[in-house]
Amino acid sequence: MSGSSRAYDLAVVGGGILGLAHALAATRRGLRVVVVDRDVRANGASVRNFGFVTVTGQERGLPWRRALRSRDVWAEVAPQAGIRIEQRGLRVLARRPEALAVLEAFLATEMGEGCRLLTAAQAAEGFPGLAADGVVAALQSPHELRVESREAIPRLAAWLAERQGVDFLRPALVREVAPPRVETTAGRIEAGTVVVCPGDDFLSLYPERIAAYGLTRCLLHMMRVRPREAGFRLPCPVMSDLGLVRYAGYAALPEAAALRARLGQEQPRHLAEGIHLIAVAGADGSLVVGDSHRYDPTPHPFADAAVDRLILDELGAATGLAEPEVLERWTGTYASASDRVMLVDRPEERVRLVIVTGGTGASTGFAIGEEVIAELFGDARDGDERRETA
């Protein structure tokens, strides 16, 4: 399409998962949508992750409910868009009595609904190679699902274009947002409403407004590995004790304090690097593992091998998987804030600036998109009326 070929109800700036989520929510209301992205294909945080839609462990309250809703949208959309669900569920392996106490406290909350506590022997069931002697117990959750993000995001975009009528303008940089016009390097777009999803680009649009939130960037390390052990298999995504002091749904519980103190004595380097273990499996038997967290407005581009070693050490300690073959290594960055997991700012009457600041775009983005579009356009009938009269 050319930048001036059509008029739209909504222009979305940014083609990552959050931008695509807003586009989906808008098309479901019968709105005409264009997505403008600076890259030919998704290249940022939306594809440099686990593809793990995490519900269990999300911050209690609205973030947790958003994750449940987003999981439901993923489950609905994935088969329509040709996206394979690689795994379902989650197993949190507790290796210390203090971790078990956190899991028991979690199960007593509303967030534990549908989850169950496994003994060490039960945790090893269907898990060839698990170092069961190092596991005290495990939490089994049915809520999660996992996709291969580097494939899922392009397929979601293609489905939105081919089946839902969303136009994509890429590569193009948005220079100015002033509804009903949006100026881009590929020409002018006419759009009555604009949603800007800049990810961790804090300077291209509304830099002063973004600066007021005190955002920084988080750098993470991830790897794709192949087990050397014959028959090793992950029946579902796996987390370990370190995640219980990182994910707010667990970490905010009073019982997490004792675990954090013990980890501070036994694994201080892991805590200093913000490491917690997530391991997920692909159809080819490889695992995606990570990750770490370093905070800096401009993170260094150099990947520290010592951080990767710490991640692999935790993988081995939790699962018994020793010295896997490393197939790929990569880093990613995302927007981060110390006091929030997302922000919605209102630069103008018909403009919203939306940023996920907790690294949970895949897990909460669909619900956020629905909320923002509902606030902008009201109920579905309003969207239909706009389309009919525009």
Mean pLDDT to the nearest integer, 354-375: 97
373 and 289 inside one domain = no
Kindly state whether residue 60 falls inside one of the protein's structural domains. Answer: no
| Total domains present in the chain | 2
Strand bridging mode 238-239 / 294-296: unpaired
Per the CB < 8 A criterion, the answer to whether 318 and 282 are in contact is no
pLDDT of residue 131: 62
Domain's final residue, options 291, 319, 336 = 336
pLDDT of residue 235: 87
The string of pLDDT tens digits covering residues 253-303 is: 999 999 999 999 999 999 999 999 999 998 888 999 999 999 999 999 898
Q: How sure is the predictor about 229, in pLDDT bands with cuts at 50, 70 and 90?
A: confident
Q: Which token pair is 299?
A: 């993170």
125 and 183 inside one domain = no
131 and 263 inside one domain = yes
254 and 309 inside one domain = yes
**Structural domain that includes position 292:** 86-145+216-336
232 and 283 inside one domain = yes
pLDDT of residue 322: 84
Phi, psi of 89 (to 5 degrees): 85, -175
Question: Residue 385 above 60 pLDDT?
Answer: no
HSE-up (13 A, CA, CB side) for residue 173: 6
Question: Residue 366 above 70 pLDDT?
Answer: yes
Kindly state whether residue 73 falls inside one of the protein's structural domains. Answer: no
320 and 352 inside one domain = no
CATH for 236: 3.30.9.10
169 and 202 inside one domain = yes
Kindly state whether residue 249 falls inside one of the protein's structural domains. Answer: yes
Question: Residue 132 above 70 pLDDT?
Answer: no
The string of pLDDT tens digits covering residues 199-211 is: 999 999 999 999 9
CATH for 169: 3.50.50.60
Kindly state whether residue 42 falls inside one of the protein's structural domains. Answer: yes
Kindly state whether residue 328 falls inside one of the protein's structural domains. Answer: yes
Mean pLDDT to the nearest integer, 74-101: 97
Kindly state whether residue 58 falls inside one of the protein's structural domains. Answer: no
Q: Which token pair is 82?
A: 């040709």
132 and 232 inside one domain = yes
Chain centroid, CA 337 distance in Å: 15
pLDDT of residue 133: 64
The string of pLDDT tens digits covering residues 294-336 is: 999 999 989 899 999 999 999 999 888 889 999 999 999 999 9
Return the amino acid letter for 323: E
d(CA 140, CA 104): 12
HSE-up (13 A, CA, CB side) for residue 185: 11
Phi, psi of 383 (to 5 degrees): -60, -40
Phi, psi of 91 (to 5 degrees): -125, 115
How far is residue 219 from each of residues 26, 212, 213, 257, measured CA to CA in Å? 31, 21, 19, 26
Q: Which token pair is 228?
A: 């050397």
CA angle 82, 88, 91 (to 5 degrees): 155
Cis omega (within 30 of 0) for bond into 180: yes
Question: Residue 3 above 70 pLDDT?
Answer: no
Number of C-beta neighbours around residue 209 at 10 A: 15
d(CA 106, CA 102): 6
**Smallest Cα–Cα separation from 139: which of 128, 121, 123, 124?**
123
Burial (Cβ within 10 Å: 0-12, 13-18, ≥19) of residue 193: buried
248 and 306 inside one domain = yes
How far is residue 44 from each of residues 47, 50, 150, 359, measured CA to CA in Å? 6, 13, 10, 12
Q: How sure is the predictor about 244, in pLDDT bands with cuts at 50, 70 and 90?
A: very high
Question: Residue 381 above 80 pLDDT?
Answer: no
Q: What percent of the chain has pLDDT over 70?
A: 94
Per the CB < 8 A criterion, the answer to whether 373 and 30 are in contact is no
251 and 297 inside one domain = yes
pLDDT of residue 98: 98
Kindly state whether residue 254 falls inside one of the protein's structural domains. Answer: yes
Q: What percent of the chain has pLDDT over 90?
A: 84
The string of pLDDT tens digits covering residues 143-164 is: 999 999 999 999 999 999 999 9
Kindly state whether residue 187 falls inside one of the protein's structural domains. Answer: yes
Q: Which token pair is 57?
A: 């462990």
> What is the average pLDDT score of the chain?
92
Q: How sure is the predictor about 233, in pLDDT bands with cuts at 50, 70 and 90?
A: confident
170 and 38 inside one domain = yes
- Residues in CB range of 379: below 8 A, 6 or more apart: none
Question: Residue 386 above 80 pLDDT?
Answer: no
192 and 270 inside one domain = no
